[in-house]
Chain A
Amino acid sequence: MKLQKWIIDKYTDLYGLKTLKEISKDTGIQVTRVFRLMHGKEMKIGEFEIFQEKVFNNFEKGSSVIELANECLLKLGNQKLGEIDEFLRRTLNIAELKRNKGEKK
């Protein structure tokens, strides 16, 4: 559910506050369902993927990173996954250090 909230927040950040109808039109998810999702109803995987695609299509290379990460999860062992995890974590922490005061996370 944490991930669901994160993806909806990210979507709202990127596209601004839209009406339920607009979100429905943009995502292809029925208006009543959008209403439920916005009020905390648990997302189906397909719905999450729609939001994910909308969010990451906005970032250059974003979707390929997600695809790669999924492929890594399927194909790599724990040690290699741990190394990637550590690398990503450090890279994020470094970016965090370079953030200006008051800058959005």
Chain B
Amino acid sequence: MKLLFLERVILETLGRGKRELHKICQDCSVEKNVVENILYKFFNEKLILKNKEAFLLDFSKREDFLEEIKKKGNIKEELKELLNYFLNIFINSENKVQFGLKKVWVGEKDEKMLELYLSKIDLLLKKAEASNKSNNSNKKLSLKKVIFWGSCEYELLIKEALKR
């Protein structure tokens, strides 16, 4: 099964514990009919159970599921969808979304500095992630920030673009 972005969102919400339909909608800011459609699909895929009015994840009949969604090809498609939305928001909104892209020659010293800054960001976010697990059970999922960074040699992108 290949997860769509919105399906991932619902999965993350249910990953926080069992929830009723309206709570799921509130937590992830997704419209009711969309949530219902996704839950229906998850139900058919045997990924969730319904306990009275609450829905909860249950992978006991689909042990392959987590492995499947972690496959490189599936992750790639999910990322492409997310980045596509991000770029749409960035292009259509003024100043609300931060995005930076530079093409520069980086000297040896600057490269080390860059690595240092990036590893500091990484550390900061890992700490935030760890504290999220214990302190943010009441916060809405949709209030999370999405942060990404990375760099690569221009040549790699050129080679990729040249692939037939």
Alpha-carbon gap, A101 to B164, bound state (A): 42
* Interchain CB contact under 8 A, B164 and A90: no
- Looking at chain A, what size class is its interface with the partner chain? 10 to 19
Nearest chain B CB to A21's CB is how many angstroms away?
A: 42
Stretch among A29-37, A51-59, A60-68, A92-100 lining the B interface: A92-100
Chain B residues with CB under 8 Å of chain A are 2, 4-7, 31, 33-34, 36-38, 41, 77, 80-81, 163-164
Alpha-carbon gap, A100 to B164, bound state (A): 40
Q: Which residue of chain A has its CB nearest to the CB of B2?
A: A90
* Interchain CB contact under 8 A, B77 and A97: no
Residues of B within 8 A of A86 (CB): 77
* Interchain CB contact under 8 A, A100 and B33: yes
Partner of A99, one of B4, B37, B77, B164: B37
* Interchain CB contact under 8 A, B4 and A101: no
Chain A residues with CB under 8 Å of chain B are 77, 79-80, 86-87, 90, 93-94, 96-101
A-B residue pairs in contact (CB < 8 Å), sample of 15: A77-B164, A79-B163, A86-B77, A93-B4, A94-B5, A94-B6, A97-B6, A97-B7, A97-B37, A97-B38, A97-B41, A98-B33, A98-B34, A99-B33, A100-B33
Known: A90-B81, A94-B5, A98-B33. 7 other contacts (CB 8 A): A79-B164, A93-B4, A94-B4, A94-B6, A97-B7, A97-B41, A98-B31
